[in-house]
């Protein structure tokens, strides 16, 4: 039997050499290993959360059949929503999209529309859409609180609308997007007077065009309230609501929790900037306005308490939030409407989504994604730095609704046809 002997001295030297590697040589190895583990965990988390959007159709079988027919032409909403590794947290995705998303170049033609109360609303028309036919469909884009025509998600929507032959116009809230403020009144979650006058103006200017609308965040809240007030008389043919806070009392309470305070402070700062540009109007205004308090406001609630509720006659901020929530207006919406919500939205929390009201309205469809943040949805086909996922979904859906209407299957006609088919199937059974 042969015995293999080792040399203890050689082994000791070998171990000594290994342990004596300089820190500068071992750090890259440790960093690479850590980065690999983190990347793997991020990939696994994104894979676990990725799934197809959950679609809620109306409870009415006939209405569900109509909407399913519309959705069948919308490929993107049926595909898996692929969460981006490292961006599966609602806060991270919200901030990433706001700070890093690329903005396409858009040239606007601004039209300042004077309202009945002498206030001004700036309409930014897509200048490059001038070559479209006179009767091309028109989509009215309504940004979120303090947002405007220069925001990346709006710019991408303008470009995609033009590519589909739809003329886009951005309805900037008073004072946003560097628009003039001529009266001591901004816009609010409850006030639909401006969008009503804007729609009427566009209808007069383009009487042969189909009118559509898309709203984000607070813009979505205002849009739904407007649709509810118009009911069957609405000049709009279809609408999309995205990242809607729905219940402003829940949203306000949500702002006061943890990291969400950062959003509250940031939005309040934007309101202060607008106020600072036009503060003299409120200094001279009659009423209970508190311009000095507003210019020092640290939260949206503080600003609303100092300015908003007095502009629109509310007794308190709590009353204003409760009465202005679009969740209560959902039952009165009388045109096809798609609602897109991200379940990890830190500003429009999932607890505020009026599932039952949407289900019971034959005109409404709800689609939710596991990730997306607020105004994020960075899983678009162009990658996290390009157009949001919601961009293609909303445009495909609007085009599909118009196609149904062109085929003689408007909302009521489509439901009536579906009811007839259901009765036919029942009779055969």
Buried b (16+ CB within 10 A) or exposed e, 159-184: bbbbeeebbbbbbbbbbbbebebbeb
Which stretch of DSSP H or E encloses residue 170? strand 167-172
The answer to whether 322 and 313 are in contact (CB under 8 A) is: no
Pick the catalytic residue: 152, 251, 345, 400?
345
- Chain position carrying tokens 């190895």: 29
- Chain position carrying tokens 């171990």: 15
Is 124 labeled as catalytic in the residue annotation? no
Q: What DSSP state is assigned to residue 331?
A: G
Is 152 labeled as catalytic in the residue annotation? no
Beta-carbon contacts of 190 under 8 Å, excluding residues fewer than 6 positions away, are: 225, 312, 314, 320, 323, 324
The answer to whether 244 and 220 are in contact (CB under 8 A) is: yes
Which stretch of DSSP H or E encloses residue 76? helix 75-78
The alpha carbon of residue 16 and the mean position of all alpha carbons in its chain are separated, in whole angstroms, by: 61
Q: What are phi and psi of 193, to 5 degrees?
A: -60, -40
Q: What DSSP state is assigned to residue 260?
A: H
Beta-carbon contacts of 172 under 8 Å, excluding residues fewer than 6 positions away, are: 121, 122, 123, 124, 143, 148, 149, 179
Locate 125 and state its tokens: 């028309």
Pick the catalytic residue: 374, 379, 400, 404?
374
C-alpha distances out from residue 97 to 48, 77, 90, 153, 378, Å: 22, 20, 11, 9, 7
CA angle 352, 354, 359 (to 5 degrees): 155
Q: What DSSP state is assigned to residue 81?
A: B
Is 126 labeled as catalytic in the residue annotation? no
Q: Which among 412, 425, 410, 421 is positioned nearest to 362, based on CA atoms?
A: 412
Pick the catalytic residue: 149, 209, 217, 234?
217
**Residues carrying an active site annotation:** 217, 345, 374
């Amino acid at each position: 039997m042969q015995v293999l002997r080792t040399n203890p001295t050689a082994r000791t030297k070998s171990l000594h050499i290994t342990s004596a590697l300089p820190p500068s040589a071992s750090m890259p190895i440790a960093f690479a290993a850590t980065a690999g583990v983190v990347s793997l965990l991020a990939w696994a988390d994104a894979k676990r959360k990725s799934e197809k959007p959950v679609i809620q159709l109306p409870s009415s079988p006939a209405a569900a059949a109509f909407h399913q027919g519309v959705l069948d032409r919308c490929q993107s909403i049926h595909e898996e929503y692929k969460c981006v590794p490292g961006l599966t947290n609602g806060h991270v995705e919200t901030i990433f999209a706001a700070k890093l998303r690329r903005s396409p170049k858009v040239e606007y033609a601004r039209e300042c529309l004077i309202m009945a109360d002498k206030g001004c609303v700036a309409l930014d028309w897509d200048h490059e859409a001038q070559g479209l036919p006179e009767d091309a469909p028109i989509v009215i884009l309504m940004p979120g609180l303090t947002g405007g025509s220069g925001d990346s998600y709006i710019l991408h929507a303008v470009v995609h609308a033009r590519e589909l032959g739809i003329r886009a116009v951005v309805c900037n809230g008073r004072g946003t997007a560097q628009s003039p403020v001529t009266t001591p009144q901004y816009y609010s979650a409850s006030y639909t007077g401006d969008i009503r006058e804007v729609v009427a103006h566009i209808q007069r200017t383009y009487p042969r065009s189909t009118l559509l609308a898309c709203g984000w965040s607070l813009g979505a809240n205002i849009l739904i309230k407007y649709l509810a007030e118009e009911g069957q008389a609405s000049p709009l043919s279809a609408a999309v609501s995205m990242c809607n806070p729905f219940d402003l009392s829940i949203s306000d309470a949500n702002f006061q929790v943890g990291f969400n305070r950062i959003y509250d402070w940031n939005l309040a700062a934007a309101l202060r900037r607008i106020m600072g540009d036009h503060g003299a109007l409120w200094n001279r205004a009659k009423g209970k306005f508190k311009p000095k308090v507003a210019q020092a406001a640290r939260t949206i609630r503080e600003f609303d308490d100092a300015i908003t509720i007095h502009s629109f006659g509310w007794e308190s901020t709590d009353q204003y939030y409760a009465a202005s929530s679009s969740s209560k207006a959902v039952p009165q919406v009388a045109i096809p409407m798609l609602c897109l919500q991200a379940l990890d939205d830190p500003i429009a929390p999932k607890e505020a989504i009026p599932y039952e009201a949407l289900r019971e309205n034959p005109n409404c469809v709800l689609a939710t994604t596991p990730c997306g943040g607020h105004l994020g949805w960075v899983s678009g086909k162009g990658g996290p730095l390009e157009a949001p996922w919601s961009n293609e979904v909303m445009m495909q859906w609007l085009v599909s609704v118009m196609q149904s209407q062109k085929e003689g299957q408007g909302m009521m006609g489509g439901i009536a046809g579906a009811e007839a088919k259901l009765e036919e199937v029942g009779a055969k059974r």
